[in-house]
Amino acid sequence: MRMLIPMAFAFLAGAGPAMAQPATTNPVSDSIRTNWNTAERNMKESAELMEEANYSFKPVDSVRTFGAILAHVAGANYLYCASVKGEKAPHAEADFEKTLTSKNDIVKALNESLVYCDGAYTAATDASLARMTNAPFGSGQVAVANALIGNIGHLNEHYGNLVTYFRIKGIVPPSSRR
């Protein structure tokens, strides 16, 4: 009997990992993709949720309007993801922020930039994350992981701005609605 208890524990301990979900072969890139999907969802839902009339809202004169934040994000997405793809950015960062003002135009630009970035995140593997690429801003080289994570951080930073704008307007932001 004394031998059966340790053997039972050994069996159960060995069976635990086998019963768990199979391990991914790209845990780092999968984690980055998961964070991208959340940040992307927050931006898309924010763009859709806010009414057109509030796209010109800004709490104080020294900050961007709601729409300008989304336009800025759209332009920056191209810089980050072009770096990862080893391409020239199809749009300059400032283009959208300076030229787009209507909700329809901003949402279209944002969604197109997100689709452009989806390709970079979908193609990422743990091995490709270590590849060096041109830095999205400034000069020098960075790991692909740096550019992808930097883009997610940028979206999250500006989502935080948008949450404040929503709260000032008495609107529950997308992530709090879930």
User: Is 7 within a domain?
Assistant: no
On the question of pLDDT at 108 being above 70, the answer is yes
Distance of alpha carbon 131 from alpha carbon 128, whole angstroms: 5
Distance of alpha carbon 45 from alpha carbon 153, whole angstroms: 17
On the question of pLDDT at 87 being above 60, the answer is yes
On the question of pLDDT at 2 being above 50, the answer is no
Domain that holds residue 130: 26-177
Provide the domain count of the chain.
1
User: Is 120 within a domain?
Assistant: yes
Q: What is the 3-state secondary structure (H, E, C) of the chain?
A: CCCHHHHHHHHHHHHHHHHCCCCCCCHHHHHHHHHHHHHHHHHHHHHHHCCHHHHHCCCCCCCCCHHHHHHHHHHHHHHHHHHHHCCCCCCCHHHHHHHCCCHHHHHHHHHHHHHHHHHHHHHCCCCHHHCEEECCCCCCEEEHHHHHHHHHHHHHHHHHHHHHHHHHCCCCCHHHHC
If you average pLDDT over every residue of the chain, what do you get?
Answer: 89
pTM for the complete prediction? Answer: 0.85
User: Is 14 within a domain?
Assistant: no
On the question of pLDDT at 139 being above 90, the answer is no
User: Is 67 within a domain?
Assistant: yes
Distance of alpha carbon 32 from alpha carbon 41, whole angstroms: 14
On the question of pLDDT at 28 being above 60, the answer is yes
User: Is 158 within a domain?
Assistant: yes
In this prediction, residue 21 has a pLDDT band, given cuts at 50, 70 and 90, of: low
pLDDT of residue 137: 86
User: Is 11 within a domain?
Assistant: no
Task: Give the CATH number for residue 138.
Answer: 1.20.120.450
- Please report, for residues 5, 23, 86, 130, 143, the alpha-carbon distance to residue 89 in angstroms, rounded to integers and kept in the order given: 63, 35, 9, 21, 18
User: Is 21 within a domain?
Assistant: no
User: Is 3 within a domain?
Assistant: no
